[in-house]
Structure 1
């Protein structure tokens, strides 16, 4: 989950990706983001988690189609276990990324302060190529092809998000 800060060390940047049940979209986002963080050699400076607004899948693996789509594109989602977002996490998080407007609204109602509400953003808001869209569609009731398309959308937005965050993360790592 989200660790308590150690005042003697550089504080990692903490991000949480949130969808409905934490078995399709948010695990994809978490795993792609973690992959980029590892590739950049910044794992020590970033903590990433994903969660759902609902509790109906807590403890379960990601959907088999999520795992398959991730595997097809070189990611490993087999170890993921679903969690429900806990509003107490807000104080430890730097960024909370909602996968659609429904999650955004729920998170904003759960956020205890205006500062916490300011930490919430929609994933597609980071992707200039998809600026006309706001929601990453939920592939749960769709076919395998939709899981691939959703993963592609998520990858594009995650790359843009990481491009925006990387300089600040690197700067924080040098302190």
Structure 2
């Protein structure tokens, strides 16, 4: 049996869809995913309907551009990292976004704790790797303390996973002109 990605949750607002990407400091993994997913959404003709944002669970880098190594790998692959400024995840993002994708289990735990321990499981809160067609459910490794090869690995994971996410977005009625 072939792998099928989990279905995307329904939009909260017809004709609109908001995706949030979350990592630890919002300078490596989630900004790479934000840049790639935003470009893929635009290429698919969904930019008028789908918004993408990223944040970190920690506030150390708020207002900073992405890590120079993350920006470098994006530039080397013809992406534009220049607009990114780090933000910190806030509880309001859980209500403002249709899908919140965390880069690793710790990020997911941190976001879940913001939501509250007693909250029921939410289909809108998932691991980014749940949509990875190669390593289903894998965590996106944090390349911060490594070399350039770690950033290349993250980009490869992000590109293939974003393709799966965009494919799911294209199947949501009202986002592509279909009903």
The question of a shared fold, defined as TM-score above 0.5 by the shorter chain, is answered with: yes
How many Å apart are 1:161 and its aligned residue?
Answer: 1.6
Q: Give the aligned partner of residue 174 of structure 2.
A: 171
Match of residue 83, structure 1, among 80, 87, 104? 87
Q: Give the aligned partner of residue 134 of structure 2.
A: 129
**Structure 2: runs of 5+ lacking an equivalent:** 1-12
Match of residue 52, structure 1, among 27, 49, 56? 56
Tell which has more relative contact order, 1 or 2 (C-alpha 8 A, sep 6+): 2
More helix per residue: 1 or 2?
1
* TM-score w.r.t. length of structure 2: 0.85
Deviant stretches of 4+, over 2 Å? 112-115, 170-175
* CA distance in 1 between partners of 2:64 and 2:94 (Å): 23
**Structure 1: runs of 5+ lacking an equivalent:** 1-8
Match of residue 98, structure 1, among 95, 102, 110? 102
* CA distance in 1 between partners of 2:35 and 2:132 (Å): 18
| Number of equivalences | 164
Match of residue 63, structure 1, among 67, 78, 92? 67
* CA distance in 1 between partners of 2:14 and 2:164 (Å): 24
* CA distance in 1 between partners of 2:123 and 2:81 (Å): 29
* CA distance in 1 between partners of 2:171 and 2:60 (Å): 37
